[in-house]
Amino acid sequence: MHKWRLFTLLLLTVGISLSACGRKEAPQISTGDEKPQINNLRDQVVGNVLELKFTLTGMAKGVGFHVDRTQIDPYCHCPGFWRRFYDRPALPVQVGVESKRLIKLKNDTVEYLFRIRAYDIDGNLGPWSHAIHAKGVDLSR
């Protein structure tokens, strides 16, 4: 009888862990409009500044963007948890116009990862960009 309880507990644990897979963000409401997008994303590090240039597309009522950041762990060389770094509100004047965001890299010993995505005024989210690696330089040399 004890073996069956252990077996049942094991099956429940496996079932719960398998059911936790999948999408980890709120469901999106489809309005039929164009999905917000980051287009023509270009990045470069100049000194201790990461420069992001891109064009926002989506509904004419307004599109904004989120920038998330994490650090690369120096021991395992893997990314940490993503955290919101910057949020520009959705505005109509940003649609179809090239935008620029300058991000100061405060440290030359830490490697950062950034990602960016667009969202519209109705809360629809576009896809995340690729991970952007950035590390400052020691300007005293």
Q: pLDDT grade, residue 20 (50/70/90)?
A: very low
Q: How far is Cα 43 from Cα 17, in angstroms, rounded to an integer?
A: 38
Task: Decide if 68 is inside a domain.
Answer: yes
Task: Decide if 43 is inside a domain.
Answer: yes
Task: Decide if 27 is inside a domain.
Answer: no
Task: Decide if 23 is inside a domain.
Answer: no
CATH number for the domain including 74? Answer: 2.60.40.10
How much of the chain exceeds pLDDT 70, in percent? 74
Identify which of 119, 23, 137, 133 has the alpha carbon closest to the alpha carbon of residue 69: 133
How much of the chain exceeds pLDDT 90, in percent? 59
Q: Average pLDDT over the chain, rounded to whole?
A: 84
Task: Decide if 12 is inside a domain.
Answer: no
Distances (CA, A) of 83 to 8, 67, 88, 91, 112: 38, 9, 15, 23, 12
Segment 99-110, tens digit of pLDDT: 999 999 988 888
**Structural domain harbouring 65:** 32-135
Task: Decide if 45 is inside a domain.
Answer: yes
- The domain tally of the chain equals 1
Residue type, 58: G
Task: Decide if 10 is inside a domain.
Answer: no
